[in-house]
Amino acid sequence: MTAHPHPAPNNEWDGRFWQAIAHGRLELQRCAECGTFRHPPGPVCARCGATSSEWVESAGTGEVWSYTVIHPPTLPAFRERTPYGAVVIRLDEGVFMVSNLVDTPVEQLATGVRVTVAISEVDDGVYLPLFREG
């Protein structure tokens, strides 16, 4: 069995995001000037250009904005999981995240479905922000 790829925080912007996930919280970066949320985290607000930001805990609620079903051939690490669904979630704060829905068969994937974050340990000490209906 091939190991799944792990997130690799590599800079000061996404390190805080992954640290919060590992502690069971979904935190989002927000511009300290205009209040615009941004994901993935970054050094500059795309709306106003400000460089100051803050971190805010998200309720982790949103909706499935789009989805696709992944079929073989795929990367070896994901071969045993196919077919599986990749979803684009629009969080209520307005940012988008690519993730998976847990406990939802691919045949039941649909847009507009309300979801809640389900932070899950997917490997020893590795946590991801997955989502479930509800």
pLDDT at 1: 44
User: What are the extents of the domains in the chain?
Assistant: 8-57, 59-134
- pTM of the entire structure? 0.91
Taking the domain 59-134, which CATH number applies? 2.40.50
Helix (H, G, I), strand (E, B) or coil at 24: coil
pLDDT in tens, 46-105: 999 999 999 999 999 999 999 999 999 988 888 888 999 999 999 999 999 999 999 999
pLDDT at 3: 66
Decide if 45 contacts 28 (C-beta within 8 A): no
Distance CA 26, CA 41 (A): 13
pLDDT at 9: 77
Decide if 18 contacts 6 (C-beta within 8 A): no
Instruction: Tell the burial category of 17 from Cβ atoms under 10 Å away from its Cβ (0-12, 13-18, 19+).
Output: buried
- Strand residues in 18-60 grouped as ranges (E): 27-31, 37-38, 53-57
Distance CA 55, CA 30 (A): 6
- The rounded Cα 55 to chain-centroid distance in angstroms is 16
Distance CA 46, CA 36 (A): 9
